[in-house]
Structure 1
Amino acid sequence: MKKFLPVIAALLLAGTTTLSLAHGDDPKTGKATVVAKEQKEWGIAGDARSVTRTVTLTMDDNMRFSPDKLDFKQGETVRFVIRNKGKLLHELVIGTKKELDEHAAMMVKFPAMQHDEPYMAHVGAGKRGGLIWSFNRAGEFDFACLIAGHYQAGMVGRISVAAASR
């Protein structure tokens, strides 16, 4: 029975979510990782075949992103190439201000907390990372580094997604 548990778990997962090769490459293997697609207020995980635009972001130990304001159109699937020019671990997390505020508060309480979602990328010092995200909903959203203290130091940015024209 123990031998079949992983198979049963995989079948249950496949029946309840849509999987996508979207989060970027696994840093250990260099191969695309598999993520569960879950609709969020700010969009859904994208896949490499659907990328319509690539945006390069840099982050550094001055606790800033460059650029810190991004504009997209509803329906764009964006590949984020994220470069950490600092000597500290940083991350990019996309969300609403409310979600980011709540998550940042948790990170202060539990700084070693592990999290890995398709709308976030952890990038080591001097390294490069990425993610692919589909902005299928219009609105004003945010991105931030939620490493304890970084968000509080102002490591944030803004995303505007214009509604698709009819």
Structure 2
Amino acid sequence: MSLTYQVLTYVGLSFGWFSFFAWKRKKRMDHMHTMIIGMSMGMMIGLIAGLLFGSEYKGDLFLSTIWGMLIGGISGMIIGIPFSLLSTIEGTLSGIMAGMMGAMLGEMIPMEKMEPLLFLFIMLHTGCILLLSNLIGTGEEETPNRKRLITLHNPITPPVLLIGIFIWFQSLPFSNLSANTDQMHSQNHNNQPVVQEINLIASDFSYKPNRIVMKKGVPMKVTFQNTGSVEHDFEVVSTGKFVISSEANDNHQHGNMGKEKPHMHAKPGESATSVWQATEEGTYEFYCTIPGHKENGMVGSLVVL
């Protein structure tokens, strides 16, 4: 499971548990408590989601901002609805603003700085849940049976939970997230760009990897290998944004010989290579042009930084 899915899964599960916990005790809370809950949850989830998608879709701030705003705003709205209209509005707006800020952070900060910042946000999110749960549960009478259970009122639970999150966080695949960026930023002492190399494998019916990151103006050597049982190709959806500098063989260009739409083709068990570079930053889709293959999932994205 990728880093983004793991973090969002944890955030979603913790948010769901806390929402259920808070909703059951809403009768004992005043408007100030419910507003704080809505704003806190919307803001923390918006920041985390925005940061994740800002790093995932570097070069496409619009897309990462939309995702951050949606997840943050919907989270703040969901937790606020059972309380009051005011809590719903506060939670939604807080989530939207936090999603925007998180996406900008993910876009601006280098990949090597993302790990400590994401860890900080996750611990803040967890800390908010622990503090708010303790605030909500203050004054609850513990029955003998409940005292024997591990609950948030047990002083051992918070440190055990935080240590567990710390251990889990160390296992997240940050190395995979930063590998492409490290390669793009490598240059020789004369400040001349080196050729980036990428192996793109086509099977029936998917690409591996299905997301490629490259640097504008830096040549990229693409080796397209077909391990499937039928012929496959891939074409980048762009016009005039790429320059093909060399081709190792006939890549079945379909009339796109140019210097505009990178297009490579390989029969089963064969491969093709090509060197090209981007002239403009952005996020571009690529897919298999053979009829029916795109519809079966042979699509991916190319991010130019």
TM normalised by structure 1 equals: 0.54
- 2:229 corresponds in structure 1 to 87
- 1:144 corresponds in structure 2 to 287
Among candidates 110, 113, 117, match of residue 256 of structure 2:
117
Q: Which structure has more RCO (C-alpha within 8 Å, separation ≥ 6)?
A: 1
Give the superposition deviation at 1:72.
1.2
Deviations 1:120-154 (A, max 9, x none): 11100111112222112100101111100001111
Give the superposition deviation at 1:92.
1.4
Structure 1 residue 133 corresponds to structure 2 residue 276: yes
Task: Return closer, same or farther for 1:126/1:139 CA change in 2, 3 Å cut-off.
Answer: same
- 1:68 corresponds in structure 2 to 210
Give the superposition deviation at 1:74.
1.2
Give the superposition deviation at 1:51.
6.5
- 1:56 corresponds in structure 2 to 199
2:236 is matched by which residue type in structure 1? I
Report sequence identity in percent: 26
- Say which one has the larger Rg: 2
State the superposition RMSD in angstroms: 2.3
- Secondary structure in 2 aligned to 1:58? strand
Task: Return closer, same or farther for 1:51/1:132 CA change in 2, 3 Å cut-off.
Answer: farther
- Secondary structure in 2 aligned to 1:129? strand
Give the superposition deviation at 1:77.
1.2
State the alpha-carbon separation in 2 of the partners of residues 116 and 91 from structure 1: 14
Give the superposition deviation at 1:116.
4.1
- Secondary structure in 2 aligned to 1:76? coil
More strand by share: 1
State the alpha-carbon separation in 2 of the partners of residues 82 and 161 from structure 1: 19
Contact 1:57 1:81 in 2 (8 A): yes
2:211 is matched by which residue type in structure 1? K
Contact 1:93 1:121 in 2 (8 A): yes
TM normalised by structure 2 equals: 0.30
Deviations 1:8-65 (A, max 9, x none): xxxxxxxxxxxxxxxxxxxxxxxxxxxxxxxxxxxxxxxxxx871111010011x100
More helix by share: 2
Once the two structures are overlaid, the 10-residue window that deviates more, 77-86 or 114-123, is 114-123
Contact 1:90 1:124 in 2 (8 A): yes
Structure 1 unaligned segments of length 5 or more: list them. 1-49, 97-113
Task: Return closer, same or farther for 1:121/1:51 CA change in 2, 3 Å cut-off.
Answer: farther
State the alpha-carbon separation in 2 of the partners of residues 54 and 77 from structure 1: 9
Give the superposition deviation at 1:93.
0.7
Give 4+ residue runs of structure 1 displaced > 6 Å after superposition. none
Give the superposition deviation at 1:117.
2.4
- 2:298 corresponds in structure 1 to 155
State the alpha-carbon separation in 1 of the partners of residues 234 and 274 from structure 2: 9
